[in-house]
């Protein structure tokens, strides 16, 4: 029985060190060294190729190295293999930092001041109190809830939207397609922290943008596939939306010459909002493997029908 890690090799060496120290009975291979492929029961990967999955005939659990699993292509993973997504404190704290930075930057007009600076213009904009700024988070999962908790002390008026109904203290909660319009109508800053599924692909489209208050701003921290890029350009250029912070794009990297690179109302970052930390995630995967070997249910198993 052994483990195969197929992602960035440098981080893999940190994982290997932790497994060697804490689970010396579990051989740990870093791809392309697979050892005997038939001995591999656990695969840790971001995007495992189909031929690799086919060659691991005794695979039991596929651990996504990320919180999202859309990049895996769930339909190519045999039904006998459990897919587990990454829930670990490193991702949550990175996302909290980045989302807070993005919301505060939009709240305090950082993109407007950057444009003004470039044209040497000294112009003070009205300071809107946080209590009068409504921040809406799409996705009330591990990351959406962590971000809401971090934003609460600033005094923003917070709301969230999820697939199934939720009750969260201090948060106006909406759910499902019935709740979407009311949720959007009170979101001055909209943050997308949804998983990418058949139900959420291109959810950030023209129709959604026109339901936001005029001058609203967007933060996309989910996946590039959530966004209809042409629709965003149109609403930014017409002034319907004031600004966007985009950490994810489709494709990644964004091709040179793409209009997002130079757009004055877009702050673009290269999918770095939250990065899985080997030191914390390796121990969480190891604990889950131990649960599995004891016959206990795995934590954070993906619901294949829902796609997340």
Distance between CA atoms of residues 254 and 106, nearest Å: 23
Q: Does the protein bind ligand NAP through residue 144 (CB under 6 A)? A: yes
Q: Do residues 306 and 139 lie in contact, with contact meaning Cβ atoms separated by under 8 Å?
A: no
Q: Using CB under 6 A, pick the residue from 48, 136, 141, 225 that binds ligand NAP.
A: 141
Q: Which is nearest to 278 in space by CA: 116, 138, 49, 89? A: 89
Could you list the beta-strand ranges (E) of 17-60. Answer: 28-30, 40-45
Site string for ligand NAP, 236-275 (x = CB under 6 A): -----------xx----------------------x-xx-
Packed helices 89-107 and 142-151: angle between N→C axes, nearest 10 degrees? 50
Size of the residue set binding ligand GLV (CB under 6 A): 6
Distance between CA atoms of residues 53 and 308, nearest Å: 19
The residue (of 40 and 146) whose beta carbon lies closer to ligand NAP is: 146
Q: Do residues 92 and 304 lie in contact, with contact meaning Cβ atoms separated by under 8 Å?
A: no
Identify whether 226 is a catalytic site residue. Answer: no
Q: Using CB under 6 A, pick the residue from 64, 162, 242, 265 that binds ligand NAP.
A: 162
Site for ligand NAP in 33-52 (CB under 6 A): none
3-class SS at 177? helix
Site string for ligand GLV, 51-70 (x = CB under 6 A): ---------------xxx--
Q: Does the protein bind ligand GLV through residue 278 (CB under 6 A)? A: no
Q: Using CB under 6 A, pick the residue from 4, 40, 194, 243 that binds ligand NAP.
A: 194
Distance between CA atoms of residues 31 and 23, nearest Å: 19
Judged by the rule CB under 6 A, the positions of this chain that interact with ligand NAP are: 66-68, 91, 95, 139-144, 161-164, 193-197, 199-200, 221-223, 247-248, 271, 273-274, 308
């Amino acid at each position: 029985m052994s483990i195969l890690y197929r992602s960035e090799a440098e981080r893999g060496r940190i994982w290997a060190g932790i497994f060697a120290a804490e689970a010396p009975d579990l051989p740990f291979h870093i791809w392309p060294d697979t050892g005997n492929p038939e001995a591999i029961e656990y695969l840790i990967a971001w995007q495992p190729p189909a031929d690799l999955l086919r060659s691991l005939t005794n695979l039991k659990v596929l651990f996504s190295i990320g919180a999202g699993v859309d990049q895996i292509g769930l339909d190519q993973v045999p039904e006998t293999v459990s897919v587990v997504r990454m829930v670990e404190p490193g991702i949550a704290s990175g996302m909290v930092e980045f989302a807070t930075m993005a919301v505060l930057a939009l709240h305090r007009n950082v993109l407007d001041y950057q444009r003004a600076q470039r044209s040497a213009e000294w112009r003070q904009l009205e300071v809107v109190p946080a209590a009068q700024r409504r921040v809406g988070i799409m996705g009330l999962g591990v990351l959406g809830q962590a971000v809401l908790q971090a934003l609460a002390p600033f005094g923003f008026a917070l709301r969230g939207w999820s697939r199934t109904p939720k009750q969260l203290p201090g948060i106006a909660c909406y759910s499902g397609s019935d709740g979407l319009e009311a949720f959007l109508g009170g979101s001055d800053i909209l943050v997308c922290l949804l998983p990418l599924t058949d139900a959420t692909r291109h959810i950030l489209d023209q129709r959604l943008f026109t339901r936001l208050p005029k001058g609203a701003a967007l933060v996309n921290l989910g996946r590039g596939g959530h966004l209809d890029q042409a629709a965003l350009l149109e609403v930014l250029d017409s002034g319907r939306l004031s600004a966007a912070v985009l950490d994810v794009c489709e494709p990644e990297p964004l091709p040179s010459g793409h209009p997002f690179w130079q757009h004055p109302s877009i702050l673009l970052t290269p999918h770095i909002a939250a990065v899985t930390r080997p030191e914390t995630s390796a121990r969480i995967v190891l604990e889950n493997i131990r649960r599995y070997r004891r016959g206990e249910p795995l934590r954070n198993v993906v619901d294949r029908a829902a796609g997340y």
